[in-house]
């Protein structure tokens, strides 16, 4: 019996060789596709190298090697001369933009790996394939918020199972992993946050006084600079501000910058400042002309606070039922009660009666003053409760250089230190630097107040003293501190 190969086995052999050829073609096509894709990606990532390679190939194939060599030599020579002769413009126009682009790309490209390294990756099992996958928060809108100060920001969306707090906890490690000297996270939604990398420190330099706004905006008074290079706008309307820092921390610069920011309003009569200088006028005297009232003795200071409390009560009664929010006007100006070294009134004054009166008036203003437009701004060196028991009644706190780390939470509230407020690490070579915390906002913001030297303060007081132009009708006339009947006088005027 002769053996006949069956038809089935022949067709199997044919289909086997067909499969093999098809597989080879597919593999070759995949390889070509991979090579084209990689070449495009590499050219996109390293455009300069790609341009040089293309130019070199063109020069070689068309016999223009010498010409290209001369052009390249001229270009390189020009760059070297530029770098050596004008290093600042070379840095600004070429080196820095190139560095920024590289940094931005590196973070975008390495984001998943960075997240894994700082513990922000989550291992998840895919329901369909059953395979383990690594999920990392999404990064979008990566851009340089300040090119000058090297501040890079992006929007991060955490994955399900994570919180923005997890991101904030990893911020410091993330900053170090990206080579930034600081990294901050600010919550913008239940699962979203803005992440900021700081590669430079805009607060390392002294901040010069900002332009004085023509139009008063008490909800955003320009006071200095934030660490992301944006202006530090401090809310004054409907709040009270407590400024705390050791001696020499620069509390004065916050006060003068704040006065500078509202100077237009003072001049127009939309704001009145009643100032108390516990240090016998040593601190605030240079700006005397800006103040509607100025007290330098303990008795006068207590009287001033009580008068402000009376004005506040009367104004609140007038506003009751008609308005819940005070709008500054020349008839009803915003009243800023400025107290420098408030502890001299609340703790260090030997006269217990005066201390109690001061505490009572301060408590009244702090609890009821916001709506009728009576705002307390107090500066203090020692934040302990026995020195100022009312410190929690200030919704806005500015913590400058402090001696001990325990004082940070004491001033800014529980958890402020973990959120990055390192007031005890502010060097004494950086006066004016502070962390600001506003009630209801989780993260403290690092800022530096503008610095007003004596000349700038003198100029400010000279040019922005309250105007006496027709139409200006002060709620209270300027009162000589030595008048014993001050209180009655004011009560009458306030009631008018
Ligand atoms: N924002 C600032 N920028 C640069 N230097 C500043 C700034 N603020 C203050 N300084 C410098 O620090 C010194 C001390 O500042 P300042 O008197 O305001 O401190 P302070 O906290 O008010 O101290 P004290 O409680 O003893 O009055 C100033 O004389 C000034 O030289």
Provide the 3-class DSSP secondary structure of residue 23.
helix
Mean pLDDT in residue range 54-72: 82
251 within ligand 1 shell (Cβ under 6 A):
yes
- ipTM for the complex? 0.97
Please count the CA atoms within 13 angstroms of the CA of 136 that sit on its side-chain side.
Answer: 15
Using alpha carbons only, what angle is made at residue 271 by residues 266 and 272, rounded to the nearest 5 degrees? 90
At residue 255, the pLDDT reads 97
Length of the chain: 496
Mean pLDDT in residue range 245-267: 95
436 beta partners: 398, 445
Confidence bin at 12 (pLDDT 50/70/90): low
d(CA 263, CA 213): 8
431 within ligand 1 shell (Cβ under 6 A):
yes
229 labeled part of a ligand binding site: no
249 labeled part of a ligand binding site: yes
- pLDDT tens digits, one per residue of 417-455: 877 888 999 999 999 999 999 887 778 899 999 999 999
Specify the residue for token string 């996109």.
44
Distance of CA 343 to the CA centre of its chain: 29
Q: Which atom of ligand 1 is nearest to the CA of 255?
A: 18
At residue 48, the pLDDT reads 79
At residue 181, the pLDDT reads 84
Query: Residues with Cβ < 8 Å from 161, sequence gap 6 or more?
Result: 122
Q: 284 C-alpha to center of ligand 1: Å?
A: 13
Cα–Cα distance list, 475 to 297, 330, 332, 469 (Å): 23, 8, 7, 15
At residue 486, the pLDDT reads 37
- pLDDT tens digits, one per residue of 300-359: 999 999 999 999 999 998 887 777 778 888 888 999 999 998 998 988 888 999 999 999
Mean pLDDT in residue range 468-486: 43
Structural domains of the chain ordered from first start: 118-125+132-200 (no CATH), 203-495 (3.40.50.300)
At residue 453, the pLDDT reads 95
């Amino acid at each position: 019996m002769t053996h006949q190969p069956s038809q089935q086995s022949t067709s199997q052999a044919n289909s086997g060789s067909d499969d093999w050829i098809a597989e080879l073609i597919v593999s070759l096509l995949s390889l070509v596709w991979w090579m084209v894709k990689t070449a495009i990606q590499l050219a996109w990532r390293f455009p300069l190298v790609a341009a040089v390679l293309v130019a070199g190939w063109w020069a070689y194939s068309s016999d223009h090697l010498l010409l290209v060599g001369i052009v390249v030599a001229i270009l390189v020579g020009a760059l070297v001369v530029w770098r050596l002769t004008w290093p600042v413009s070379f840095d600004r126009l070429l080196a820095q933009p190139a560095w920024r682009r590289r940094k931005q790309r590196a973070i975008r490209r390495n984001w998943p790996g960075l997240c894994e390294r700082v513990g922000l990756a989550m291992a998840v099992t895919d329901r369909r394939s059953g395979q383990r996958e690594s999920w990392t928060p999404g990064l979008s809108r990566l851009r340089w918020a300040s090119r000058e100060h090297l501040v890079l920001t992006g929007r991060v969306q955490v994955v399900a199972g994570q919180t923005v707090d997890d991101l904030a906890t990893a911020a410091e490690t993330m900053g170090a992993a990206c080579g930034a000297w600081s990294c901050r996270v600010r919550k913008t939604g239940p699962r979203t946050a803005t992440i900021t990398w700081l590669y430079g420190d805009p607060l390392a330099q002294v901040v010069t006084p900002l332009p004085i706004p023509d139009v008063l905006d008490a909800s955003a008074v320009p006071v200095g600079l934030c660490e992301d290079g944006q202006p530090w706008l401090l809310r004054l309307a409907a709040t009270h501000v407590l400024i705390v820092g050791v001696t020499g921390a620069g509390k004065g610069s916050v006060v003068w910058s704040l006065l500078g920011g509202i100077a237009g309003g003072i001049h127009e009569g939309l704001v009145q400042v009643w100032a108390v200088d516990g240090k016998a006028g040593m601190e605030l005297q240079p700006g005397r002309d800006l103040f509607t009232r100025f007290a330098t003795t303990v008795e006068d200071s207590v009287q001033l606070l009580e008068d402000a409390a009376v004005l506040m009560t009367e104004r609140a009664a007038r506003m009751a039922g008609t308005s819940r929010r005070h709008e500054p006007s020349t008839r009803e100006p915003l009243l800023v009660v400025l107290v420098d070294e408030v502890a001299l009134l609340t703790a260090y004054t030997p006269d217990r009666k005066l201390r109690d009166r001061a505490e009572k008036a301060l408590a009244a203003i702090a609890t009821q003053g916001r709506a009728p437009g009576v705002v307390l701004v107090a500066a203090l060196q020692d934040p302990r409760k026995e020195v100022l028991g009312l410190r929690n009644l200030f919704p806005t706190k500015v913590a400058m250089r402090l001696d001990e780390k325990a004082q940070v939470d004491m001033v800014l509230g529980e958890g402020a230190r973990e959120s990055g407020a390192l007031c005890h690490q502010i060097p004494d070579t950086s006066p004016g630097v502070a962390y600001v915390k506003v009630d209801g906002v989780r993260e403290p913001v690092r800022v530096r107040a503008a610095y007003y030297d004596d000349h700038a303060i003198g100029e400010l007081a000279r040019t922005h003293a309250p105007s006496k132009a027709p139409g200006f009708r002060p709620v209270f006339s300027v009162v000589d501190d030595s008048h014993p009947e001050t209180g009655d006088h004011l009560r009458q005027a306030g009631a008018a």
